[in-house]
Amino acid sequence: MKKVIISIISSLLSLFFLCSPVAAITPDYAEDQVIAAAPAGSQTSSGEYTVSPGDPIQYSASLELPDTAALISIQPHSSMNFVSGGTLYVMNEKEEVVYTQNLGYTSTDGFFYDISDMPAGGGTGFFTYVVSASDVLSTGLVGMSGKVIVSDAEGKTLTTSESPAVYSLSATIQTVDTHLHEEETPMQDQGIITYNGQHVEGASFVLYRDKELKNPVSFKEDFRSYTVCSDGTDGTTQVMKADTSGTLTMKGLRAGTYYLAEEEAPVDYYNATTAPIVLSLDLERDNSGKLKMVMNETEPKDKDDEEKVVPKNEVIRLSNKGAGASVVVDYKNVNKKPRTPMVIAVCCGGLAIGCGCYVIGKSHSRPKTPNIPAEG
């Protein structure tokens, strides 16, 4: 019976999610917190949920409240913004709702339920609350988890419930030419391979959510980092460009399939591929249960013929090490643009300057005709 009551209340408090691109989840009854609703398609193979800035997450909490409990405070993770909290329902051992309370807020205590007037005997408290991901997220394998703290009238903590962690993914794009400085040995930085002296600059990319390449991801740029943001936000861009370092990092990604299109090749190079690089971002657990990030690649297809496989010529390589995920676009087998026009221009310019100097020199070296006065 208790499960039924909780399920009904959870459904009522989740109505606003029906108008959003999220998937409702029916959680099993638990003496703790569970994720009740999350963005559609954001769950990973490991069961964890991933978010981008602005994404809502609804938590459902079911806590045993001792007789001395006076306050329930909600403390979201620092990367999450509190959005709303539902009514608190307290049930007794007969599974009867004996007490309700609305959410309160003060600048000192934050968001809380004042249950100092709860009937003697305590009970099981149930409520839901919603947070949304901020623009500043922990990325990789750093989970973002908040807390719900139950305390007595004197402020002493009685119980603490930690909310299930959510994650936000990132990936690095590197543009290189491994024919350059072949004597250099690639190094690793936090699991991501770096190429000393082999990066090439000027390439630009657009990340799409669909294979038709009609739904690009918008980013906020901050020194080689591009963080996902809502469409229409001021100061956003959809084109990511690799500067002199030949690298850029995408942050704030949910799990799922993306399509990375090369918009512009590096300086002096032709494009490496005309087809999008199909990437699948996910979280998995190894045999020991340790969480790891995985980025798989689907063989690129021709835009007009999905059955036709576009040869890669070892252009695209992926690196999955620990928390790092890297897309390496190698231009070693890509023809460079000819520099003949530049050479001709320089030669012509030099020739013109030389001819000019010669003419001026000749005019100065020519003997002057003496000025002989006319005979009278």
What domains, with CATH codes, occur in the chain?
A: 2-167 (2.60.40), 169-330 (2.60.40.10)
Tokens of 29: 């009854």
261-277 pLDDT, tens digit each:
999 999 889 888 888 98
CB 63 within 8 A of CB 159: yes
Question: What DSSP character marks residue 208?
Answer: E
326-337 pLDDT, tens digit each:
888 888 877 777
CB 227 within 8 A of CB 235: no
Examine the pLDDT at 186 and tell me if it is beyond 50. yes
Three-state DSSP string of 248-311: EEEEEECCEEEEEEEEECCCCECCCCCCCEEEEEEEEECCCCCEEEEEEEECCECCCCCCCECC
Cβ count near 100 (within 10 Å): 11
Of residues 132 and 136, more confidently modeled: 132
Label residue 179 by pLDDT band (50, 70, 90): confident
pTM of the model: 0.77
- Supply φ then ψ for residue 168, to 5 degrees: -135, 135
CB 64 within 8 A of CB 159: yes
Examine the pLDDT at 73 and tell me if it is beyond 80. yes
Residue 244 CA, chain-centre distance (Å), reads 22
